[in-house]
Amino acid sequence: MQTRVLGSSGITVGPIGLGCMGMSYAYDKAEQDDARSTAVLQEAPSLGVTLIDTAPAYGVYRNESLIGAAYEGRRDEVVLATKCGLYPEGPDNALIRDGRPETIIAGCDDSLRRLRVDVIDVFQLHRVDENVPVEESWGALAELKAAGKVRAIGISEATIDQVRAVHAISPIDVIQSELSLWTRQWVNDVLPWSSENGVAFLSYCPLGRGFLTGSMPVGTTFDKGDLRARSPRFTVEAIEANQAIVDVVREIAEAHDATSAQVALAWLLTVGPNVIPIPGTKRPERLRENAAAADLVLTASEVQRLNDLPAPAGERY
């Protein structure tokens, strides 16, 4: 089985992981089905999908509990990655950044309990708290690693200056940020830095929140409970403009008798040996499709065509 390494931790994982947010949060609630998601989680290791990514913020802590139950008794089959510093609070469960060391340390204990494990494989600062020096937040993660409660530490959506600052305190094992054929804001600084310093780069939303699969024709709209309904990149006008991106991906997919999703994931694997896409899915058939992307070999000219795709219409948020 192909493997990739999580920084200096020495932890090895399959080249494509599984992002679990959509199982409990963010998208169409009618599509959320714990039994079906559990089937996805339990099948994943047999397909080489061993990195499982979650967070307290997903579904008001429900996602971690779902994963803990799914892997009870199968702990050695997966690498569990969760997060800290972003939590649902208040009557409406709004996501609040809290990077205080004491909150991070307490949050780790809570995640250990929900995941039903003795150690968390990868513990990541979900978002930097503007009210707390990032060095203080990172110090708490380093303390947890030294105490043996976590095996590897990471940071998400951090700037190059923040990355350099925390790496000087304790080495980063993992950086997790959005990266795909239509989100490339990190390619000129954080991404090359991660490669040069042997840090794994976990690519979340590698399928552009579903858009790069080619399953959103012109005129697609979303229910108000779906976060894409509030995204400038998913307005009716933006979806129409961005069909040009999907058209190229689809053309390359047809040449390989593959799917657009597989092309989008295969492209990410060419970006660097430290890049690990973590596409999310709630369906077993999509899990298998995504896992098979690791075997898709794009030609040099196809990679160049994908590299040259235009920037998408609409900002991320």
Q: What pLDDT score was predicted for residue 207?
A: 97
Decide if pLDDT at 26 tops 90.
Answer: no
Rounded Cα–Cα distance for residues 49 and 265 (Å): 13
- The CATH number of the domain holding residue 96 is 3.20.20.100
Residue 118 within any structural domain of the chain? yes
Higher pLDDT, residue 32 or 300: 300
Domain tally, the chain: 1
- Which of 220-224, 289-293, 311-315 bottoms out in mean pLDDT, i.e. has the lowest? 220-224
The verdict on residue 215 lying in a domain is: no
Residues 3 and 17 sit within 8 Å (Cβ to Cβ):
no
User: Residues 99, 137: contact at Cβ < 8 Å?
Assistant: yes
Q: What is the DSSP letter of 256?
A: T
pLDDT-derived band at 202 (thresholds 50, 70, 90) equals very high
Q: Please tell me the predicted confidence (pLDDT) of residue 158.
A: 97
What is the pLDDT, as a whole number, of residue 91? 75
User: What span, in angstroms and rounded, lies between the C-alpha atoms of 34 and 40?
Assistant: 10
| Whether pLDDT at 266 is above 90 | yes
Residue 110 has pLDDT above 80, yes or no: yes
Residue with tokens 């690498």: 79
- Higher-confidence residue: 232 or 32? 232
Average pLDDT over residues 271-294: 97
pLDDT reported for residue 229: 86
In a domain, 222, yes or no: no
What does DSSP assign to residue 180?
A: B
Lowest mean pLDDT among 35-49, 188-202, 211-225: 211-225
Q: What is the per-residue pLDDT for 19?
A: 97
In a domain, 141, yes or no: yes
pLDDT tens digit string along 127-138? Answer: 999 999 999 999
- Tell me, yes or no, whether 73 lies in a domain: yes
Strands 150-156 and 4-5: unpaired
Residue-level pLDDT at 197 = 97
Long-range contacts at 218-221 (CB < 8 A, ≥ 24 apart) = 218/243
**Does the residue 242 lie in any domain?**
no
Q: Is 317 one of the catalytic residues?
A: no
pLDDT in tens, 229-247: 889 999 999 999 999 999 9
CA-based nearest residue to 53, from 39, 64, 69 = 64
Q: How confident is the model at residue 317 (pLDDT cuts 50, 70, 90)?
A: confident
User: Which residue in 25, 27, 58, 61 is the catalytic one?
Assistant: 58
pLDDT given for residue 225 in this prediction: 79
**Residue 55 domain flag:** yes
Range of the domain at 95: 4-207+267-295
Averaged pLDDT of the chain: 95
**Residues above pLDDT 90, as percent of the chain:** 89
Per the domain annotation, does 236 fall within a domain?
Answer: no
Instruction: Quick: pLDDT tens for 159-196.
Output: 999 999 999 999 999 999 999 999 999 999 999 999 99
Q: Of the given ranges (28-32, 42-46, 141-145), which has the lowest mean pLDDT?
A: 28-32
Please tell me the distance from the alpha carbon of residue 264 to that of residue 183, in angstroms, as a whole number: 12
